[in-house]
Amino acid sequence: MVYLKMNQFTEYIEMKFSKATEPKSSKQQEQLKVRLLAILNELEKQTHVSATYPPHVLPFANEMKQIREYIEVGEYGLAYESEVATFETHPFVLSGKVAVALLELALLFGFKTERKEDASFDRRGKQQ
C-alpha cells in the first residue's frame, strides 16, 4: 500500500476535482456551505472517534481543521469528499437531520467521490 503525504493527497484531489462540477448559483453555494458546516459541527463533537485514527493518517483535530478550511475558502467539493471519506473510515454517528443534509449534498453535487469504485454514483455530465 502506498501512503501519500497530506500535501500530495490534497494536490491530487485538487487536480482531480474541478469547481466546474459544483452548483453555480449563489443560493446553491450557500446551501452547500450550510450543510457542510452542519455535518462538520456534528463530527467535531464526536472527539471519542479520534481513538480510531491510526498514527499514519492525519489526526482527528487536524482533519476537522482542514475540512473547515476547505469550507471557509469555498472549496466545497473538497470538503464534501473529505467528509464522505471520513464517514467511510471512522465510526461517526449522524443525527437524522445531518444525515439528510449529507444526502442533499450528494444530490446537489451529483457524485460520491472521485474514486474509481464510486464511478457508478457519478451523474455529472450525463444526460438526465
Beta carbons within 8 Å of 114's beta carbon, 6+ residues apart: 13, 16, 17, 81
Q: What is the DSSP letter of 55?
A: T
Beta carbons within 8 Å of 82's beta carbon, 6+ residues apart: 63, 66, 67, 70
Residue reference for cell 467539493: 77
Per-residue pLDDT of the chain (128 residues; tens, 9 = 90+): 444 444 545 554 444 444 445 556 888 889 899 999 999 999 999 999 999 999 999 999 999 999 999 999 999 989 998 998 898 899 999 999 999 898 888 877 775 555 566 565 565 565 44
**Residue-by-residue DSSP string for 43-59:** HHT-GGGGGG--TTS--
